């Protein structure tokens, strides 16, 4: 960068899957719009988008999340062509293996209520009693279970980091610009008391505190988005919460295994010849070092896994990694749209562990919001930042891990 500011229509701060999807949709919906993606690390070594378990489900408690997932699965089914550059079709390894939410007797009514909400939104689900669970999944220990809710289509897993990179490459091929730099300040015209009246200037770390100006500035900084908002004098309830993913194997066969959500709190799904598994940590602090918490797969956790899937009695831990959920501590839902307290400043953050599957729809909705003043294809207004400002939560009950 030279010392003088450069001007863009939209500056997106953070080029993870949210920033990349938004840049893709902006440049697709309005060719010629000038978009700048700023990230401190285009290697994405600590970004959630590189460390995700990349699964997709329709089983949420909030209709807006089911709608985002429904859009997400249709997008994924066509993404190989939609995101192709130079005519090369891409393969995101989408496997619609389903999610299986399990419930014990005291949880049956709650699971049924969620099933009704999700079916009302068009999700393709089956409600299985104990006999059906036993018949369909003979490797599952179901004696202490009452029912399960299974995604029959539209749920499964895919290559999330590849999707992220494809959004980025396609956005750049459509004219988006990239800048590797750390954002250290946000500015704009100020009132006489010093309050920011509008956010239109982004200051990045550099020898002379270089800056760019933009009509719209978007906070897409994932787990670091609260830190970024503070640069503009705003507080948003997003925390970086570490989650460990374990890669395990077993010599025994577990065929047709969906992503299983156990009443004891763990999740597990196949990945090639292996399984991925994780759970909610007992002690869930902010900003823990990004190293796997091996104590989360201790003897008692091992016993819980082997209780539900006896074939895992003989399991072994192959490796593990850790990433941050960009957790919305207010209501476990995303914050998307303009920030009502600062003109020019938008957010797309706080997806609380389910952002990879919602990136396509959230990016489209926010692009429309920026370009047309409202989201059109998907009504994302329930996720608006206003609910945080007004302290009117939209609680999501189905948060995994
Ligand atoms: C272990 C794990 C499992 C998950 N499993 C699933 C799943 O199964 N399904 C699902 O849908 N989702 C899942 N998620 C969630 C999903 O991965 C995230 O919601 C999504 O990747 C968030 O993307 P993002 O772009 O908001 O954040 P990120 O990918 O973290 O990107 C934010 C970017 O902002 C940049 N940045 C931050 N601050 C600055 C600054 N000051 N200056 C410049 N750049 C900055 C960072 O470098 C980073 O690249 C999981 C996440 C984790 C960690």
Evaluate: CB of 354 within 6 angstroms of ligand 1: yes
Evaluate: CB of 98 within 6 angstroms of ligand 1: no
Nearest residue by C-alpha to atom 50 in ligand 1: 52
Evaluate: CB of 228 within 6 angstroms of ligand 1: yes
For the stretch 360-388, pLDDT in tens is 999 999 999 999 999 999 999 999 999 99
- C-alpha of residue 377 to centroid of ligand 1, in Å: 24
For the stretch 207-239, pLDDT in tens is 666 899 999 999 999 999 999 999 999 999 999
CATH class of 99-154+239-324: alpha beta
Evaluate: CB of 17 within 6 angstroms of ligand 1: yes
Evaluate: CB of 47 within 6 angstroms of ligand 1: yes
Domains of the chain, by residue range, sit at: 6-86+160-237+330-389, 99-154+239-324
Query: Residue 3 has what pLDDT?
Result: 46
Of residues 37 and 283, which shows the higher confidence score?
37
Which atom, in ligand 1's list, is nearest to the CA of 204? Answer: 42
Evaluate: CB of 221 within 6 angstroms of ligand 1: yes
Query: Residue 101 has what pLDDT?
Result: 98
Predicted TM-score (pTM) of the model is: 0.97
Q: How many CB atoms lie within 10 A of CB 27?
A: 22
Q: How far apart are CA 257 and CA 237, in angstroms?
A: 36
Q: What is the mean pLDDT of residues 302-310?
A: 98
Share of the chain above pLDDT 70, in %: 98
Query: Residue 206 has what pLDDT?
Result: 74
Query: Residue 1 has what pLDDT?
Result: 44
> Residue 186: enclosing H or E segment and its boundaries?
strand 183-187
Give Cβ neighbours of residue 72 (< 8 Å, ≥ 6 apart): 56, 357, 358, 359, 360, 361
State phi, psi for 267 to the nearest 5 degrees: -120, 155
CATH of 6-86+160-237+330-389 among 3.40.50.720, 3.50.50.60, 3.10.20.90, 3.20.20.70: 3.50.50.60
Res. 2: pLDDT tops 90: no
Query: Residue 209 has what pLDDT?
Result: 65
Q: What is the mean pLDDT of residues 337-356?
A: 98
Angle (CA) 247-248-253 rounded to 5° is 135
Evaluate: CB of 49 within 6 angstroms of ligand 1: yes
Strand order in the sheet with 316-328: 125-129, 147-151, 99-103, 259-261, 267-271, 274-278, 238-249, 316-328
What DSSP string describes 258-327? -EEE-TTS-EEEEETTEEEEE---SS--BT--SS--GGGGSHHHHHHHHHH-GGGGG-EEEEEEEEEEEE
- C-alpha of residue 248 to centroid of ligand 1, in Å: 24
Nearest residue by C-alpha to atom 18 in ligand 1: 355
Res. 4: pLDDT tops 50: no
Nearest residue by C-alpha to atom 37 in ligand 1: 221
């Amino acid at each position: 960068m030279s010392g003088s500011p450069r001007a863009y229509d939209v500056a997106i701060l953070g080029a993870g899957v949210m920033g990349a999807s938004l840049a893709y949709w902006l440049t697709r919906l309005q060719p010629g719009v000038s978009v700048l993606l700023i990230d401190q690390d285009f290697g994405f070594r600590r970004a959630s988008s590189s460390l995700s378990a990349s699964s997709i489900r329709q089983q949420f408690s909030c209709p807006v999340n089911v709608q985002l997932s429904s859009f997400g699965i249709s997008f994924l089914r066509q993404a190989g062509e939609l995101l192709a550059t130079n005519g090369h079709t891409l393969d995101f390894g989408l496997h619609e293996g389903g999610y299986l939410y399990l419930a014990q007797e005291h949880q049956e009514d709650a699971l049924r209520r969620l099933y009704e909400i999700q079916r009302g939104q068009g999700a393709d689900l089956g409600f299985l009693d104990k006999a059906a669970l036993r018949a369909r999944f003979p490797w599952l220990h179901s004696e202490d279970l009452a029912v399960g809710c299974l995604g029959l289509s539209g749920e499964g897993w895919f290559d999330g980091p590849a999707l992220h990179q494809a959004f980025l490459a396609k956005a750049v091929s459509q004219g988006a610009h990239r800048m590797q730099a750390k954002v250290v300040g946000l500015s704009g015209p100020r009132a006489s008391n010093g309050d920011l009246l509008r956010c239109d200037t982004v200051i990045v770390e550099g020898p002379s505190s270089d800056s760019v100006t933009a009509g719209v500035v978007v906070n897409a900084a994932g787990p670091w988005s609260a830190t970024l908002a503070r640069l503009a004098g705003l507080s948003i309830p997003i925390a970086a919460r570490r989650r460990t993913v374990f890669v395990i194997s077993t010599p025994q066969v577990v065929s047709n295994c969906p992503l299983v959500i156990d009443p004891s709190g763990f999740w597990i799904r196949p990945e090639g010849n292996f399984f991925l598994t994780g759970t909610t940590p007992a002690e869930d602090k902010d900003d823990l070092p990004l190293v796997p918490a091996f104590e989360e797969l201790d003897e008692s956790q091992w016993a819980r896994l082997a209780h539900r899937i006896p074939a895992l009695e003989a399991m072994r831990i192959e490796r593990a990694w850790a990433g941050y959920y960009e957790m919305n501590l207010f209501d476990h839902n995303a914050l998307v749209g303009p920030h009502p307290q600062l003109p020019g400043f938008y957010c797309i953050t706080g997806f609380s562990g389910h952002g990879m599957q919602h990136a396509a729809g959230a990016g489209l909705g926010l692009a429309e919001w920026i370009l047309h003043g409202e989201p059109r294809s998907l009504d994302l207004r329930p996720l608006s930042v206003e609910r945080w400002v007004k302290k009117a939560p939209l609680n999501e009950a189905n948060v995994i891990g």
